[in-house]
Amino acid sequence: MATYFFWFDLLGVAVFAVSGTLAAWRNQMDGFGVIVLASVTAIGGGTLRDLILDVPVIWINNNSYFYAIFVAAVTTILLVRNRLTIPHNTLQLFDALGLAFFVIMGAQKALDHGTSAMVAILLGTMSGVCGGMIRDVLCREIPMVFRGELYAVTCLVGGGVYTSLLMLGVTQLPAMLSGMAALLLLRLAALKWQISIPVFGKPHGGLNEP
């Protein structure tokens, strides 16, 4: 089972690296900017999760994560370099795939270190959203988690499905795949049908600014 965890984690890093690379391309960053954005997107959330759990940061003693980031970034650049524009939904699709991998893997790592199911879901959500938040801030954009269609809610649902199935006695791999599928399908449905949480704002004729 540990082999599954490693490859799922590595695949999540690669997918988020693609997401960061696409964001760098869209914002016309240079090669260094591409690698930085791909890296912080790919390992930012996992780094924060490990620091909170007070365990060794996952990439410190394993260069495989940097290899995955580099290969994903270079491959993405080669595939899109001749395109004049990149559809925005391409970035959103890879971001959704990254969420599906990272949230479940983050939740499992939290469970492995003795947290409750609720804390595991929260740390899994943090693993999924924090890298993208850093990416968007560096691109001077409002992070996806704070705008538009359902985002963090999909992470909570995916993590909830995973931990619930584990408590019901479902083995890890089917539970993991079910949690990933629930998260991904909900996120894609939110993108397609523009399902969102009501936006907080001043009502018409509301209070003036202080």
The mean pLDDT of 34-38, rounded to a whole number, is: 95
Quote the domain boundaries for residue 117: 2-193
- In a domain, residue 209? The reply is no
pLDDT at 82 over 80: no
* Residue 176 resides in a domain: yes
**pLDDT band, residue 80 (cuts 50/70/90):** confident
pLDDT given for residue 144 in this prediction: 86
The percent helix, strand, coil of the chain (3-state, each to 5) is 75, 0, 25
What is the phi/psi pair of residue 68, to 5°? -65, -40
For residue 89, give the 3-state DSSP assignment: helix
Cβ–Cβ < 8 Å for 192, 157: no
The pLDDT of residue 157 is above 90: yes
- pLDDT confidence bin for 90, thresholds 50/70/90: confident
pLDDT reported for residue 200: 64
Please indicate, yes or no, if residue 210 is contained in any of the structural domains.
no
Asked if the structure places residue 201 within a domain, the reply is no
Q: Is residue 199 situated within a structural domain?
A: no
Number of domains in the chain: 1
Asked if residue 135 is part of any domain, the answer here is: yes
Q: Decide if 65 contacts 59 (C-beta within 8 A).
A: yes
Q: What is the mean pLDDT of the chain?
A: 90
Q: What percent of the chain has pLDDT over 90?
A: 75
**26 assigned to some structural domain:** yes
Determine, yes or no, domain membership for 206.
no
Which of these ranges, 17-31, 75-89, 183-197, has the smallest mean pLDDT? Answer: 75-89
Global confidence as pTM: 0.89
Q: Please choose, from the candidates 17, 33, 37, 176, the residue with its C-alpha nearest in 3D space to the C-alpha of residue 98.
A: 17
